Each structure stands twice: as structure tokens, then as C-alpha cells.
Amino acid sequence: MGESWIECVPNFSEGRRPEVIDALRSTIAAVPGILVLDVHSDADHNRSVITFAGPGPATIEAAFKAIRLAAEKINLEEHRGEHPRIGATDVVPFVPLAGTSLEECVALARSLGRRVGEELDIPVYLYEAAATRPDRVNLEDIRKGEYESLRQTIHSDPDRVPDFGPAHLGPAGATVIGARRPLIAFNIYLTTADVAVAKNIARSVRHSTGGLRYVKALGLEVDGRAQVSMNLTDHTQTPLARVVELVRREAARHGVAIDHSELVGLLPQQAMIDAAAWYLQLGHLEREQILESRLEMLRPIAPPGEAAFLERLADATPTPGGGSAAATAAAMAAALAGMVARLTVGKKKYASVETRVKDVASAADGLRHKLTAAIDEDAAAFEGVLQATRLPHTTQAEASARSQAIERATHQAARVPLNVALAAADVAELGAEVAEIGNVNAVSDAATAVALARAGIQAAALNVRINAKTLTDQGPVADWEQALGAAAQRAEMAERRVADALKARAGLA
């Protein structure tokens, strides 16, 4: 598969100087390919959380530049706030989005950690899935005693030697970098200013002191109120509503109540759906019963904003053309694979494979978004070739510049369908898997997904080869052919798996 999207959620020890927070956001947003999704700052915590997403290499670059800027602007010797911290950039988690894996995020975390340690001379500790030692999996264990304690012990205590960088602290402190699943940062404010009550509730709620699994909690004083500050590390295992209700019960024991709650950053849509279903006692709420989800399902099959895509495809114009059609076929295949996976979730008959089909649905969604984007990317790439051919070439210098521009544009016009073929091979394998383990009533849909994915690979390959044929530099063509051959073989294997699944599961519905 080509580049995948990753979420990165760095926490900075600054929540009171807007100019510094804006500079950090601008630095991240300036990296090509990066989307800043959210900025959350808290003056009492003296902390800001910036959520952004992009391809893996871009997220590393954006995080590195932000860490470097934070080291210049934030002095831990002068920093005070309610939230525990050991660094100017306190923690940097990488989170897999649809179509990516936790292992990819581990590799990114370790790569960034090494670079920060070597180039910025900042101590780095790896945590969660990227941890190299069991005593560093939990962030709170690394951050115990905060900056002040670490400053005294980092050079003398073998247990505090960093994974990367020097065994001494400067004013930027240390940074914790890792990889984890999506996390919900959620705060509940109580109808009291007594922080001891919040600390007692946090002790009852968090897993480490006998509370709920996948919940971390602290009791703090924020804005003159007691606050239970929590991280929910797996909302699918410990739902948000269950956490809120336990806090509510524990608060009542102390004679107080919940005043209001606060979301820090973003949360998965499913977490809100699950919470709504719990509070409304909708035991069988399906995603398609939600208006916006149903509209998404029933809207015309066409790229966003292009309801007349097929009309444009039929026009007497070179774009969109075969490359866009290849991406469309593969995107439809991904949508079908995701549909079959979702038709399997929540069925008792398939309880043993529910976790896996949820992963398949997530991966299929990521591939669908990527392939949908490729529909326009392919058209834009070919337009680039046409524009290059229209450049002036009267003089020798102009002719040389035109030839170079055509070469660059043609190279891009080949790369887009190549990436489509590679992503379509991923889709074919997902389709084969849900044909084997998914809802038997939808096995023909899974087979259709594989057929469409294979068609997408074949069509994309035609577009790669027609562009490659005109390149002056044939250097990369052999690698492209090898990649196309591997994608075709994977699709053929997926079709054989589907044929076996259709035979084995016939009559089981």
C-alpha cells in the first residue's frame, strides 16, 4: 500500500501565551500534506494539544519542527501548571487512522525519537506500543516526579536513562514519543472546589487503583472547580457512558454532582453513537438509522461534488479518463468490502470474528478515501502533461525546459495509477477475507468487491504502461512493472480465495 494517513497529537507545556500556541500551529500546518484538525489550550493546565494528520513522513517532519520550536519558546524552569509534564513538548503519540497499522506508528515514533535525540539534543523516552521496556509502557510511570525529579536523577539513575538523546536535561526537558490506539481525553467538572473529592473519584475510576479497565484519571483544580481529568484508552472496551456514570455515582457518595464535562481534542464518532444508544436505551441502534449516515449511504456514487461524474467521463475530453475510472472501480470495491464487514458486526453468529471485521471495515474506509482522492489526482496529473506540452519551445532553452516539464508530468501521471493498483490489491485481499469470514448473506458482495478491485488493477496498469512508454528516463519502469505484477498476483490469489469461499459456504445462508 502507498502512503497512509496517521494522526499525531503532540501535547505542549504552554497554554497561556497565544502567540506561542499560534506559532506551533502554523509550523505544523506549513508542512505539505498536513491537516491541522484541532487545537485545544487550557490556561490552568498550562498545556496545549494540537491534533493533526497526514502521511507518515509528513507527520514526522511536522512533529520534529514543532518540537524544535517548542524547545526554543518554552522553558521548563519557568513553567507551572496543573497538568504533569517533563518537557516543553511533553508527549507525542502517533495514532493509526483507517487503513494504517499500529506497527507503522511504532516505526514512526522510533524514527522521530532518534532524530529528536540526535539533532535537538533532547532526551526521548518511548512509550505505549513503541516502548522498549515494560516499565515505560505507561506514560505516568515515565512522568513520575515530573521535570523537577527527572532533572535530578536522569544522569545518575540507570532506570531513567533515555532511549535516545543525552542523559541530562536542558530547559526544554525531555519528550515522550510513542504509538497508541485512538484515545479520548475527557474531563468532568464537579459542583465543588474541593480537589480532594476529585482525587478520590479519580482513584475509584482509574484502572491502576482498582477502577475501570482502559481508564486513566487524575483529580485537579481547574477554573475554581474540582476536575476529574481522564484518558479513555479503548472506548470499545470501556464505553464513555459507563465512565460518566461511575463518576456520577462516586460524586454522589461525596455529596456533590457533575457540573459539566469537557472533550479535549477529537473522539471517534462511534464513541458518541455508543453513548447516545446507552443513554437513550436504544439497544439495537444501527449506524444507518442516523440521518447523516443514511444520506452518506444513499447519495449518488460519484466523487464528492461531482454528481455528474459519469457524464464527464462520457464527454469528448481526455479527462477524466481511464485512470480515474480505474480508481473509481477500486474505490467501489473498498466500499463493498467495508459494507460486508459492517453487516457482520453485531451478529451473534459471527462474534468470534467481530474484532477482525471491525479492523477490516476501518482499513476498507481508509482505502476508499484514498482511492476516491485518486480519481481527481489522475485527472489532474494528465492535465499536467497536457499543460507541459503547451509550453513554448521556440528556443533551445525553451525546448529543453519543455522536455523536462513533460518528463516530470508524465512521471507523475504514471505514479498515480501505480498507487491505485497497489491500493486495489489491498482491497482485493480485504474482500477475500470478508468472503471467507463475513456475513454469508453478503458473500456475493465480497466477491464483487474482489472482481472490481482486480479490474481496477488491470485498468490502472494500462495507464501506468502507456505513460511509462513515453518517458526518456526508463530507470523506474522495471520497478513499476514488478510492483504491478505483484499487485496482479495478489488479486488473482484473492479471486481464488473467493471462489473457494463461494463453494464452501454455498447454502449456509
High-pLDDT (> 90) share of the chain, %: 61
pLDDT at 4: 65
Residue 236 has pLDDT above 60, yes or no: yes
126-143 pLDDT, tens digit each: 999 999 999 999 998 999
Residue 386 has pLDDT above 90, yes or no: no
Distance CA 226, CA 248 (A): 14
For the chain, the first-to-last Cα distance in angstroms comes to 34
Write down the domain spans for the chain.
5-179, 184-279, 300-504
Answer whether 401's CB lies under 8 Å from 380's CB: no
Judge residue 50's burial from the number of C-beta atoms within 10 Å of its C-beta, 0-12 exposed, 13-18 middle, 19 or more buried: buried
pLDDT at 32: 85
CA distances from 329 to 28, 185, 196, 319 (A): 35, 38, 59, 16
Residue 303 has pLDDT above 50, yes or no: no
156-181 pLDDT, tens digit each: 999 999 999 999 999 999 999 999 98
Which residues is 81 bridged to in the sheet?
none
CA distances from 106 to 179, 313, 423 (A): 5, 42, 22
Distance CA 52, CA 39 (A): 9
Residue 3 has pLDDT above 70, yes or no: no
β pairing state of 35-42 and 47-55: antiparallel
- Per CATH, which fold does 5-179 belong to? Formiminotransferase-cyclodeaminase; Chain B, domain 1 (3.30.990)
Residue 304 has pLDDT above 50, yes or no: no
Distance CA 438, CA 435 (A): 6
Could you tell me how far CA 83 lies from the centroid of its own chain? 26
Residue 70 has pLDDT above 90, yes or no: yes
Average pLDDT, the chain: 89
pLDDT band at 467 (very low <50, low <70, confident <90, very high): confident
Distance CA 395, CA 379 (A): 30
Which residues is 185 bridged to in the sheet?
231, 264
Distance CA 408, CA 121 (A): 39
402-428 pLDDT, tens digit each: 888 888 888 888 888 999 999 999 999
CATH number, domain 184-279: 3.30.70.670
Residue 273 has pLDDT above 60, yes or no: yes
β pairing state of 5-8 and 89-96: antiparallel
- Catalytic residue list: 83, 378
Amino acid at 503: K
Residue 241 has pLDDT above 80, yes or no: yes
180-202 pLDDT, tens digit each: 988 899 999 999 999 999 999 99
More confident residue, 505 or 366: 366
High-pLDDT (> 70) share of the chain, %: 95
β pairing state of 124-128 and 175-179: parallel
Which residues have a Cβ under 8 Å from the Cβ of 469 and sit 6 or more positions away? none
Question: DSSP secondary-structure letter at 413?
Answer: H
pLDDT at 318: 74
pLDDT at 98: 67
Residue 438 has pLDDT above 70, yes or no: yes
C-alpha closest to that of 33 among 63, 67, 71: 63
- Per CATH, which fold does 300-504 belong to? Four Helix Bundle (Hemerythrin (Met), subunit A) (1.20.120)
Could you tell me how far CA 481 lies from the centroid of its own chain? 30
Set of cell numbers at residue 412: 507523475
CA distances from 498 to 350, 442, 443 (A): 18, 12, 9
Residue 288 has pLDDT above 80, yes or no: no
Which residues have a Cβ under 8 Å from the Cβ of 13 and sit 6 or more positions away? 46, 47, 70, 74, 76, 79, 81, 85, 87, 88, 89, 90, 173
Which residues have a Cβ under 8 Å from the Cβ of 355 and sit 6 or more positions away? none
pTM of the model: 0.55
Distance CA 92, CA 111 (A): 12
